[in-house]
Structure 1
């Protein structure tokens, strides 16, 4: 980290042969992330901040033990990263505000996971669970440690591709929950037109033209595939932000996208259910 402000550029030397030690370190980092993902999304979601903090520490220890510098891990260009991330976070807030103000898009922001929470729990999610339980681990894990390990052995471009693909797969479990918690997005992924009717001649909810309702498993699969693709692409964008502003830039955008989602989901005015439509109950254990 060069300079008083850590503004020195990042230099990631690409080694020759990929040694067994590097493979073990990379496999260990992936194993830590997999374990944290299962704990945070299935076994102990309320303990996500603790789990993520421990996992982040373990990942940084692996990376530093393997010889990676703090600059290689993305802890550089702090001032630039704060400026870039702050500007993007403001843009996210503006988009969310417009989204809940426009009737045609409002329902896509009404997430039952946020609406089912008390005010105190919503603040816990926005101010603790998201920044520490989600963003800290994902940014340090994928844009920091995994990216640096891959870049050192294979070069920067493969590092972006592989870390972003793994970031997309990381969202399989959250996407399965989202398919239930946000029926509007689930219906859109299943072929439902944004205005409320189904695309084509099928009934509302993505059913086929013969009037049969859509298979719920197929709907969930579509949401999962779409989420993995979208978050994989987002991972590539975050990698570019990391290149330009270190980890601070993608971290601020990431926090804004997730934390403000809880706030604006609660601010979005409720809409009456259309004829034949039933409200979708919130999950018993919101993540």
Structure 2
């Protein structure tokens, strides 16, 4: 494998950016800056990747693959929807869906989260960064399996700060040892999720497939948490 110094610098820069963005940069931003900051970062990454010669197909944005992406992503999203519906229907499982971050939110707050924050601030940014721009950059400097593993590890680390926030708001894992274990489990889980999303991206040829699954998981998870919290609060 022959990689230029420019390729190595680009890949290293992406790794540093993605290793620090969600855990160091975002927590220091005002809440209202979350969406514009992430949308801006998405546009910048795409622009730089294209300027460096990364094709639309490499980025998962080939228009010709949209139908395949919609088919794979839509089917996966339907499975997620059915799973959430089943969980809400079982009283013993329902409390596990509750999340203090959305419990008590009014309709306007929920709509803003489900229609704006999650689709643009989370799904768009993460899919473009982790399943679009990062893989071809890593493949130019690493063997295929190492590139996949590095991307999965980064996606796991990306969720350290959000996991800590969720634990704190829900009053869970106050003990440092248990908190560390919970964070490690969450990061391992999200690393595994990346592998699924990356497989969907490769199998369908389109970034739309993992994006639809990602959107369904986050949006329906948020709505299910809100519903579970309200039922529990009655």
TM-score, normalised relative to structure 1 = 0.74
Which structure's relative contact order is higher, taking Cα pairs within 8 Å and 6+ residues apart?
A: 2
- What stretches of structure 1 of length at least 5 have no aligned partner? 1-15, 191-214, 274-287
Residues 34 and 165 (structure 1 numbering): CA distance in 2 closer, same or farther, change over 3 Å? Answer: closer
Is 1:36–1:55's contact at 8 Å kept on the other side of the alignment?
no
**Structure number with bigger Rg:** 1
Instruction: Give me the whole-angstrom Cα distance separating, in 2, the residues matched to 1:116 and 1:222.
Output: 28
Is 2:192 the partner of 1:260? no
Contact 2:66-2:208 at 8 Å conserved across structures: yes
On the 8 A contact 1:241/1:249 being kept in 2, the answer is yes
Aligned length: 229
Q: Secondary structure at the match of 2:56?
A: coil
Structure 2 equivalent of residue 228 of structure 1: 187
- Structure having the higher helix fraction is 2
Deviation at 1:34, TM superposition (A): 4.5
Q: Which deviates further from its counterpart, 129-138 or 96-105? A: 96-105
Deviation of 1:159 after TM superposition, in Å, equals 2.2
Structure-2 separation of matches of 1:106 and 1:228: 24
Aligned position for 1:249? 209
Aligned residue for 2:60, secondary structure, equals coil
- Alpha-carbon separation, structure 2, partners of 1:88 and 1:181: 30
Query: Which segments of 5 or more consecutive residues in structure 2 lack a partner in the other structure?
Result: none
**Stretches of 4+ aligned residues off by more than 4 angstroms:** none
TM-score between both structures, scaled by the size of structure 2:
0.90
Distance 1:34 1:48, change over 3 A: farther
After superposition, what is the alpha-carbon deviation per residue over 1:32-86, rounded to whole angstroms, capped at 9, x for unaligned?
4355423433422332211111111121122122221111111132111111111
Residues 225-267 of structure 1: CA deviation (Å, up to 9, x unaligned): 1110000000011110000122100000001101111111122
Note the aligned Cα RMSD (angstroms). Answer: 2.0
Moved more, 45-54 or 239-248: 45-54
SS of the residue 1:103 aligns to: coil
